[in-house]
Structure 1
Amino acid sequence: MIEPFFKGGGVIRRFIGFVILVAAALVGCAQEDDPAPRTGSSWWRPAPGQVSDWDWQIDQPYDLSARRAMYDLDLFDLAPAGSRLRYPDGEVIEVPAGPLAHMVESLHARTPRPIVICYVDTGAYEHYRPDAHRFPGHRKRVAALPNRPRPPAPGSVIGWDTGWDGERWLDIRASSRGAFAEVIWARLDLAKRMGCDGVEPDQNNPLGNDPGFAITLADQHSWYREVATQAHARGLSVGMKNGHDQPGSAAALVDVFDWALPEECAEFDECAELDVFIDRGKAVFAVDYKGSVDPAAACRLHRTHNFDGLVKDEPPTAAYRTRCRN
């Protein structure tokens, strides 16, 4: 209880109470679509509802004219001319300028300043990337890479196709990842130099997706943790991309990630697996795809779980976007 300083101190008490209420209201307003980092962290850690107006575009056509609080865009498409990937053995790889070159700086120059998340494959080999030759097992022609039912070549870390053209699962087992990990960390270094606020590391969930290697849940969890640790070591925010299809995985990994980006949780009735992120005060940027779900039904489910959801085209471009949170 606040003691009055003079007769009529109830006025002071009422005034102080009013100030506290106003301050609380301002904090609440700031959380809605305010992309500023949360207190106590050196990287971006969004709360549920803090960034409800966001977009995810990792393929053309692009359109970034609409002002969003957060954009999730492909790392290599954002690369400006003169970008380089550097490795401990001294090799330097020139990265071609992408179609969104210098867009990180352009977006950051807006007021209010939006968050820019850079999408990057950390669990898959992409034959079309400038660093593809760094992965053991690389071949000049993607058709020369063994694919199911042929086993991967001895010593290769490149497995079977992920379902995307030119993309293959990596052998993320602890006994194999040392052969390619420095390639992934060089991508994170590039993201840091380019000014990305965080990364969306993709394709770390080969389990159940026929990768060509005998990967266990323990392998998958430890690789997720290593990727998150390496991102944080560079001061980058990092989200758990997928992996929620394995029951209990989100609960096992929530402590090392700052947010989550699950695909198709409404379509496959898996959204409840991500509730642990919401319970910990961490945003879930759920995405389902038009043509596979009814957008209205998917959005209702996203809102039920307090997710900051979207319904997008597949792969996500500027061509279609339904925002699920008002």
Structure 2
Amino acid sequence: MAEKPAATRARWSLRRKLLLGTALVVVVLALALGLGLGLTLGKDNGGGDNGPQPTPTSAPLPSPSGSLPWKPKVNDTWQIVLLNNIELDSDAKSVTPNVSIFDIDLFDTDTDTIDTLHRLGKKVICYFSGGSYEPGRPDSDEFEDGDTGKGLDGWPGEKWLKLSSDNVRRIMKARIELASKKGCDGVDPDNVDGFQNDNGLNLTADDSVSFMSYLSNITTPLNLTMGLKNAGDIIQQVLPVVDFSVNEQCVANVECDTFHAFIDAGKPVFHIEYPNGAGDDLEDTTVEHYCKDEGNAKGSEGFSTVLKKMDLDGWVEYCDRNTETTAMNQTDPSH
């Protein structure tokens, strides 16, 4: 073959370099896309084959129906009454106090009361114990011997639950479905902090994180908002799948800074303290102790604070010194 002229060889060499450069770019892009795809497919939000995990995002996710569940906001006003069902006529024109949200018992509250609260423009969070057995509940006889551990201090007959139990989870699923059927806007599952107590079941923080993820997978399709009750040690792990905090006594325990992570994430902290003398108008110094963002209350800025009696009846005092009492029926509580 005749040798190419020098000019032709130069053009051929340049063309070959351009082709090689283009090929190199294609290879790099292909590798990058393949690596990104592999990382996406390999992500499991928790490691291993642990089944579906909640999406780690604090933004509201649509339910399968395409609608967005209600989400409470920072500084929303509220009242919590668990001792008895609140007394409210179906044709009531108002309810005391005039707050945005009522946290009331899932079992003790009838559907008519929830409907009336909705007609009055209120949102309803339904309370149930997610991590403890309570005697006297309608489904109490469904728990098995292996489901329960030690008793809860100060609550006779109440016992910690094994959160990984299939039977316990089945019962809690039914409770959430009942909340949806009754028309609750959200749920407040209590006692998910067994790992921080002498529970007799060797419960760990991972057990509570897994349990909250399980509950979230039920509430989301039902358009129910869900909160974390206390359990400050797992806030960072479950913050993406819960919409609010219900905290008891962070001032008394000097740990409000821990729960301020919710406020930082744009989610409210519904904060309860049980001061001595609750039930009567409290002293100014007492209210300031629990309501000012300083001293033992440091970190409580932005919290929706209520001062209550330990039995969580209708009496409440707010940080603005307003005292109200929600009327309750006079029947004995079922728990």
Same fold, judged at TM 0.5 (above): yes
Structure 1 258/61 Cα, relative in aligned 2: closer, same or farther at 3 Å? closer
Residue 7 (structure 1) aligns with: none
The answer to whether 1:320 aligns with 2:330 is: no
Q: Is structure 2 residue 55 aligned with structure 1 residue 47?
A: no
Q: Distance in 1 between matches of 2:136 and 2:220?
A: 27
Please tell me whether residue 162 in structure 1 is matched to residue 188 in structure 2.
Answer: no
Please name the residue that 2:56 is paired with.
none
Check conservation: 2:228, 2:244, Cα contact below 8 A: yes
Alignment of 1:1-326 (within 5 A): 42-49=68-75, 51=76, 53-60=77-84, 62=86, 64-80=95-111, 102-110=112-120, 113-137=121-145, 156-163=146-153, 164-172=155-163, 174=164, 177-244=165-232, 246=233, 249-291=234-276, 294-301=286-293, 304-323=300-319
- Aligned equivalents of 2:321, 2:262: Cα separation in 1: 17
CA separation in 2, counterparts of 1:237 and 1:77? 20
Distance 1:117 1:255 in 2: 19
**Alpha-carbon separation, structure 2, partners of 1:40 and 1:236:** 11
**How far, CA to CA, are the matches of 1:253 and 1:196 in structure 2?**
22
- 1:45 maps to a residue whose letter is K
8 A Cα contact 2:126 2:187, kept in partner? yes
Which amino acid is 1:193 matched to?
K
Identity in percent: 28
Q: Would the aligned equivalents of 1:299 and 1:310 in 2 still touch at CA under 8 Å?
A: no
Corresponding residue number in structure 1 for 2:22: none
Output the CA distance in 2 between the equivalents of 1:292 and 1:251: 35
Do 1:45 and 1:237's aligned partners in 2 also have CA atoms closer than 8 Å? Answer: yes
Q: Structure 1 unaligned runs (5+)?
A: 1-37, 81-101, 138-155
Name the CA shift for 1:215/1:312 in 2 (closer, same or farther; >3 Å): same
Does the aligned pair in 2 maintain the 1:299–1:311 contact within 8 Å? no
> Normalised by the size of structure 1, how large is the TM-score?
0.68
Measured after TM superposition, the shift of residue 208 of structure 1 is 2.5
Alpha-carbon distance in 2 for matches of 1:274, 1:65? 28
Whether the 8 Å CA contact 2:79–2:97 is kept in 1: the answer is no
Instruction: State the structure with more CA Rg.
Output: 2
TM (norm. structure 2) is 0.67
Aligned residue pairs: how many?
240
Taking the aligned partners of 2:206 and 2:180, their CA distance within structure 1 comes to 28
| Residue identity in the other structure for 1:306 | G
The structure whose residues are more often helix, as a share, is 2
In structure 2, the gaps of 5 or more residues are 1-58, 63-67, 88-94, 279-285, 323-335
Instruction: Report the CA distance shift for 1:284/1:324 in structure 2 as closer, same or farther (over 3 A).
Output: farther
Q: Distance in 1 between matches of 2:320 and 2:204?
A: 35
What's the offset of the Cα at 1:65?
A: 3.2
Question: For the structure 1 residues 324 and 190, does the alpha-carbon distance in structure 2 shift closer, same or farther, using more than 3 Å as the test?
Answer: farther
Aligned residue number for residue 327 of structure 2: none
Q: Name the Cα RMSD after superposition.
A: 2.3
Are the aligned partners of 1:44 and 1:236 in contact in 2 as well (CA < 8 Å)?
yes
8 Å Cα contact 1:44/1:258 also seen in 2: no
Q: Which has the higher contact order (CA 8 A, sep 6+)?
A: 2
Aligned partner letter, 2:80 = W
